[in-house]
Amino acid sequence: MADYGYYGSAPEKERRSGGLFGRLFDLVILIVTWLAGLSLLLSLLSQVVNPNSVAWLSFFGLVYPIIYLVCLGCALYWVVRWRRHFFFALLMLVIGLGGAKRFFDPQMRRTYEGSATEEIIPDLKVMTYNVLSFSKEFDNTVATTAELVARLADSLRIDILCMQEFQNNATNLATFADEAPRLEYSVFHNMDKKLGDRNGQGIVIMSAYPIVRHDIVDCDSTFMRSLWADIRVGTDTVRVVANHLQSTSITKEDRAHTLTPQIVTDTMREERLVELAGRLAKNYAVRANQADSLAQFVADSPYPTIVCGDFNDTPISYVYHRVAKDLTDSFVMRRGGRNATFDGFLNIFRIDYVLVKEQGGTTTKKDKRAADEIGRLAPRTYLSPDVNYSDHYPVIVGLDIVRPVEE
């Protein structure tokens, strides 16, 4: 008796294969399956390889959501075709599931059950937002962009507001004083270190609680990328580190031409794409250095710490892996709603974060005693409202401070 393998009889084999065209199409999808699987492994590897060593790996992390979706499509195809290649595609999906959850479907909401020795004080609401200097163009005659952002923060009862690309001038400061009066404490620093806290564009931290000290994290020699403030919340001190890491340097021209179907007919597409890739690679390396400095600074923090802002990198990247390694990503608190925080490129990129170091450092006996008395931060909620005040979306996180009860 002839052995026709898993196809069954010869006629059945021919019918299921779809003839010559079917076999050729299977071959194409098989190649795509293996390329997607290899790309997925390379993208996961990009998290632990410094871009200063191998820059091209970072590009695989950039398109991780697309790679994962291609693997999913291939798995579904092989199920329908009833081919053993399905098991390879399934293996890639399982390997990449952890990374996919950072984009698509986070873990079930974590809960912190209060014990007899703990009490939970009300939520602390933190909002981070790259406001694009309040220059987003859209149809609105009711209020300025700064007023809309301030009203959003006030309506949501935000306790700590961190903004990047904040244009620090008398008009904007007066707007927030009028529209969000709860945020009476603030500290600002220009991106250009030489300008200090004078008017200009930079990072601002506004708070409903007193700011007892602040400074910058010295990430590189030219621009200020991270501003920190210690904020007194009741009897606890919380450190907030607001960030705007190195830009991707993708211009409006890139968005309007290089990254659209128009590039297909462009006679200079090779030169344009090579130039764009070079800019991206250079900035990957710069952000990697900034991430190294930032991660060390956060690790040394003696207080529970909130690390937030625009990282200009996805959750599958060296920057994210380096900074978030020992922190809690509040995105796992998400219960429905939007995933992406950047408005553009198919809305698949999450590059704005609120990460939490739940407890302070314990490097000395004195720090250890202090840490025992300071509450720990427990992320509770995550929200990214669908508002079009910028090319980013705000990220709003609710936290609890859980602390021991004095006996």
Q: Are residues 283 and 173 in the same domain?
A: yes
pTM, two decimals, is: 0.84
- For residue 107, the cross-strand partners are none
Q: For residue 106, is it within any domain?
A: no
What CATH number corresponds to the domain at position 400?
3.60.10.10
Give the residue from 101, 126, 145 where a domain finishes: 101
Using alpha carbons, select from 177, 320, 298, 166 the residue that is nearest to residue 238: 298
Q: Are residues 317 and 256 in the same domain?
A: yes
Q: For residue 179, is it within any domain?
A: yes
Q: How far apart are the first and last CA of the chain?
A: 83
Q: For residue 110, is it within any domain?
A: no
The residue written with tokens 């993208």 in the block is 43
Q: Are residues 153 and 32 in the same domain?
A: no
Confidence of residue 25 (pLDDT cuts 50, 70, 90): confident
Q: Are residues 95 and 127 in the same domain?
A: no
Average pLDDT value over all residues in the chain: 82
Cα 231 from chain centroid (whole Å): 24
- Helices then strands, counting H and E runs in the chain, come out as 12, 13
Q: Which uninterrupted H or E stretch holds 2?
A: none
Q: Are residues 269 and 369 in the same domain?
A: yes
Tell me the pairing of strands 305-310 and 236-244.
parallel
Give the residue from 67, 101, 135 where a domain finishes: 101
pLDDT higher than 60, residue 41:
yes
Per the structure, how many domains does the chain have? 2
Q: Which of 32-41, 225-234, 256-265, 280-289 is predicted with the least confidence, judged by mean pLDDT? A: 256-265
Retrieve residue 379's tokens.
């992320």
Q: Is 221 left (phi over 0), alpha (psi -120 to 50) or beta?
A: alpha
Q: Can you give the residue range of the structural domain that contains 27? A: 5-101
Q: What is the pLDDT of residues 78-114, one digit of tens each?
A: 988 888 888 988 999 999 988 888 887 554 444 444 4
Q: Could you tell me if 166 and 204 are in contact, meaning their C-beta atoms sit under 8 angstroms apart?
A: yes
Q: For residue 238, is it within any domain?
A: yes
Q: Are residues 141 and 86 in the same domain?
A: no
pLDDT higher than 50, residue 116:
no
Q: Are residues 34 and 93 in the same domain?
A: yes
DSSP states of 306-358: EEEEE-SS-SSSHHHHHHHTTSEEGGGG--SS----BSSGGG----EEEEEE-
All residues at 6 or more sequence positions from 65 whose CB lies less than 8 Å from its CB, including other chains: 100, 103, 104, 348
Cα 43 from chain centroid (whole Å): 16
Q: Are residues 301 and 391 in the same domain?
A: yes
Q: Could you tell me if 356 and 376 are in contact, meaning their C-beta atoms sit under 8 angstroms apart?
A: no
- Residue, of 148 and 109, whose pLDDT is higher: 148
Distance CA 302, CA 359 (A): 8
Using alpha carbons, select from 387, 400, 391 the residue that is nearest to residue 151: 387
pLDDT higher than 50, residue 360:
yes
Q: Are residues 49 and 135 in the same domain?
A: no
Distance CA 308, CA 306 (A): 6
Confidence of residue 4 (pLDDT cuts 50, 70, 90): very low
Q: Are residues 220 and 82 in the same domain?
A: no
Q: Are residues 152 and 30 in the same domain?
A: no
Q: Could you tell me if 81 and 15 are in contact, meaning their C-beta atoms sit under 8 angstroms apart?
A: no
Retrieve residue 320's tokens.
């994210």
- Residue, of 250 and 183, whose pLDDT is higher: 183
Q: Phi and psi at residue 330, in whole multiples of 5°?
A: -65, -10
Using alpha carbons, select from 191, 127, 190 the residue that is nearest to residue 161: 127
Distance CA 351, CA 305 (A): 19
Give the residue from 70, 101, 132 where a domain finishes: 101
pLDDT for the residue 123? 72
Tell me the helix, strand and coil percentages in the chain, rounded to 5: 40, 25, 35
Q: For residue 111, is it within any domain?
A: no
Q: How many CB atoms lie within 10 A of CB 146?
A: 23
Query: Three-class SS of residue 359?
Result: coil
Q: Which residues of 153-180 are buried (b: 16+ CB within 10 A; e: fewer)?
A: bbebebbbbbbbbbbbeeebbebbeebb
pLDDT higher than 60, residue 403:
yes
pLDDT higher than 50, residue 352:
yes
Q: For residue 107, is it within any domain?
A: no
Q: For residue 222, is it within any domain?
A: yes
Tell me the pairing of strands 124-130 and 160-168.
parallel
Distances (CA, A) of 46 to 50, 106, 147: 8, 21, 40
Q: Are residues 34 and 128 in the same domain?
A: no
Any idea what DSSP says for residue 108? P
Q: For residue 112, is it within any domain?
A: no
